[in-house]
Amino acid sequence: MNYRIPSLAIGLTLSLCAQFCVLSADEQQTSVSPKTARIAIYDHSDGSANGPKNLMQFLTAEAGFECKRVTPKEIQEGVLRDFDTLIMPGGSGSLQSSKLGEQGLKHVQEFVRDGGGYVGICAGSYLATTHYSWSLGLLNAKVWDRTHWARGNGEVTLALSDKGCQLLDAEQAELDVLYAQGPLLVPDNKAELPGYEVLATFKTEVATKGAQEGSMTGTHAIVRTMFGKGRVICFSPHPESSGGPRTIMTAGVRWASQGLRP
């Protein structure tokens, strides 16, 4: 089966996202909150998971963040009420969903709908989509070439939009970043959800384990949207890793944390 997205389809996809995305969060939220952003970082490990450890290396008090690891059980018990933003890091989106359970997933949805921020990284982006039965349904997106989701790891180049450069404090429109089998995002058509805005696409790709060459390039790597009153930003790759660029992750978390939480 041919999984390549024709270049015309890519252009139409980008155009439709830009045209119909109801999000213009910079216009909806014109002031930046001066308060320290309270960040919950999901972790169902024994503390050994790399994602939370990497994030806490640079989302520091000096940078304007107060971070704490939270477990699925704590989310089920309502701990998110004490935070501005939830980060769902890498790992397994389906396992994250299973650990959270029905109650935890409901609490995350309500938290974002009521004005909380959501930052998905790799697995956390899979979890945010509308694609799977176990998804949160925060992001009106499907996963392209789902069959070859485990396409391999490696460094890729991102092409940032003008808005992506501005929002993510990127000085260059092309950035190299670690990719580790994150979702290749394309729009879904859920009428109850707004579209999303594309901040970056994949300019290069990883195509191993049977994945067809050319099927990844042009798909959406970093996107943002609104879910109710809350801000959602999803990163397919791993800018929080030691190779960075961590500045774009910092900017993305900061944007997500400027919602309407009291």
107-122 pLDDT per residue, tens: 999 999 999 999 999 9
Cα(125)–Cα(141) distance, rounded to whole angstroms?
10
Burial class (CB in 10 A: 0-12, 13-18, 19+), 204: middle
The pLDDT value recorded for residue 9 is: 41
The pLDDT value recorded for residue 15 is: 37
Which architecture does CATH list for 7-256? 3-Layer(aba) Sandwich (3.40)
What are the sequence ranges of the domains in the chain? 7-256
114 CB-near residues (< 8 Å, 6+ apart): 228, 229, 230, 260, 261
Cα(57)–Cα(150) distance, rounded to whole angstroms?
28
Statement: residue 28 has pLDDT above 70: no
Statement: residue 60 has pLDDT above 60: yes
Burial class (CB in 10 A: 0-12, 13-18, 19+), 112: buried
How confident is residue 35, by pLDDT bands cut at 50, 70 and 90? confident
Q: For CA atoms 96, 99, 104, 105, give the dihedral sign.
A: positive
How confident is residue 24, by pLDDT bands cut at 50, 70 and 90? low
Statement: residue 54 has pLDDT above 70: yes
How confident is residue 47, by pLDDT bands cut at 50, 70 and 90? confident
Statement: residue 19 has pLDDT above 80: no
CA atoms within 13 A on the CB side of 139: 35
Kindly report the average pLDDT of the chain as a whole number. Answer: 89
